[in-house]
Amino acid sequence: MIALADIERTAIELMRRAAIDLPEDVRAGIGRMAGATTEPLSRFVLEALAENWRAAEEDRRPICADTGLPRWYVKAGNGAAIEGGFVGLAGALRRATARATADIPLRPNRVHPLTRHDPGTNVGVLAPEIEIGFEPVGDWLDLIAVHKGGLFGSDWRMLFPGDGRDGIKRFFLDCLLQSGRRGLACQPAIFGIGIGGSKDTCMAIGKQAACLRLVGDRHPDPEVAALEDELLSLAGATGIGPMGFAGGSPALDCHVEVAHTHTGGMPVSVHAFCLASRRAVARLHPDGRVEARTDPAWFTPYQRREGVE
């Protein structure tokens, strides 16, 4: 049995790590970019970012004051038993979100969309999002904290089969040029592109592609992987660097996820996981062990329902 107290304690710690310690794959990626950038302003910005991450770690303060929208991805082994069941889990994650918001502190960004009332806890109606996936074998629970920034840089469009790869590329360029100038997308960002599914699936997998795959990771389907490479070099060709300065790329990486879709359509979503690409992962075991992990490993063959009856 996985205890609720362990879930709540681990969740608070994950939110602290997400807000303060940038994942190693993102850090290394930005470091490689800084090394390759010759334009002085773009380079200055990338170096200032690295200095900022050091300051965050030393002072234990968040990387960015806009601490985004805290949300949860949970992966459960099919044999996982949780104290209080999944309702217990949801309660623990909501309590942890409110506690971490006050303790770290995070900015209470979550408000009612119409009244703009701010409960001050980052908890409210359908907030934080808790998305749950399953694996056929295992008695563990993976908690993945994501503090999603990137208000700008995301969009959705219904394209058609005849639009093909040209259509996907054009729409991706539209998004980059819409939000990359003046650096509104807070680039270099990790771009997640969802293709296919129904509209909601398309949005969900695009966001997961941005937030839950490591920089440098490629999709196992060679055709999808080739598109990821093409989109990444297209982003580079825009020459839109950090803060929208001429010189560099707005994309640290591009991750594409696909889902079977209506024969007449090709929905596409684009999501920017801003340069504060905040995620933290841990696995809880029923004996109370908490295992630190770096890779969310969200997209398994089962998660993609590959070869599943």
Partner 1 sequence: MTLRHVSLTLPAGDDALAGLRAGDVVTLSGRLYTGREGVYRRVLDQGIAPPVDLASLSNANFHCSPAATVAADGTARIGAVTATASFRFSHWLERWFAVSGCRVMIGKGGMAEEDYRRHFVPHRAVYLTTVGYGTGALLGRGVTRVQAVHWLEELGIAQAIWVLEVRDFGPLLVECDLAGASLFAGMDRAIADRVEALYAGLKPPALARYGETTDRRQPIV
Judged by the rule CB under 8 A, the positions of this chain that interact with partner 1 are: 40-41, 44-45, 48-49, 51-53, 55-56, 59, 61-67, 102, 104-109, 118, 120, 152, 157-160, 162-163, 166-167, 169-171, 173, 177, 181-184, 186, 234, 237-240, 242-246, 274-276
Closest CB to partner 1 among 75 and 147? 147
Q: Report in angstroms how near the CB of residue 208 gets to partner 1 at its nearest.
A: 22
Q: Report in angstroms how near the CB of residue 302 gets to partner 1 at its nearest.
A: 34
Distance from C-alpha of 37 to C-alpha of 32, rounded to nearest angstrom: 9
Contact of 106 with 175, CB cutoff 8 Å: no
Side by side, the strands of the sheet bearing 266-273 are 155-159, 266-273, 189-196, 251-259
- Least Cα distance to 253 among 276, 236, 241 occurs for 236
- Least Cα distance to 239 among 38, 47, 50, 52 occurs for 38
> What are 215's two structure tokens?
């920089």
Closest CB to partner 1 among 138 and 247? 247
Closest CB to partner 1 among 48 and 132? 48
Strands 155-159 and 266-273: antiparallel
Distance from C-alpha of 190 to C-alpha of 213, rounded to nearest angstrom: 9
Contact of 260 with 248, CB cutoff 8 Å: no
Closest CB to partner 1 among 120 and 220? 120
Between CA 4 and CA 10, with CA 6 as vertex, the angle to 5 degrees is: 120
Distance from C-alpha of 212 to C-alpha of 292, rounded to nearest angstrom: 16
Q: Report in angstroms how near the CB of residue 228 gets to partner 1 at its nearest.
A: 18
Q: Report in angstroms how near the CB of residue 159 gets to partner 1 at its nearest.
A: 6
Distance from C-alpha of 182 to C-alpha of 101, rounded to nearest angstrom: 30
Closest CB to partner 1 among 214 and 275? 275
Q: Report in angstroms how near the CB of residue 205 gets to partner 1 at its nearest.
A: 21
Displacement of CA 266 from its chain's centroid (Å): 23
Q: State the residue for tokens 């209470």.
A: 108
Closest CB to partner 1 among 86 and 160? 160
Q: Report in angstroms how near the CB of residue 176 gets to partner 1 at its nearest.
A: 9
Q: Report in angstroms how near the CB of residue 32 gets to partner 1 at its nearest.
A: 18
Q: Report in angstroms how near the CB of residue 128 gets to partner 1 at its nearest.
A: 16
Other Cβ atoms closer than 10 A to 191: 31
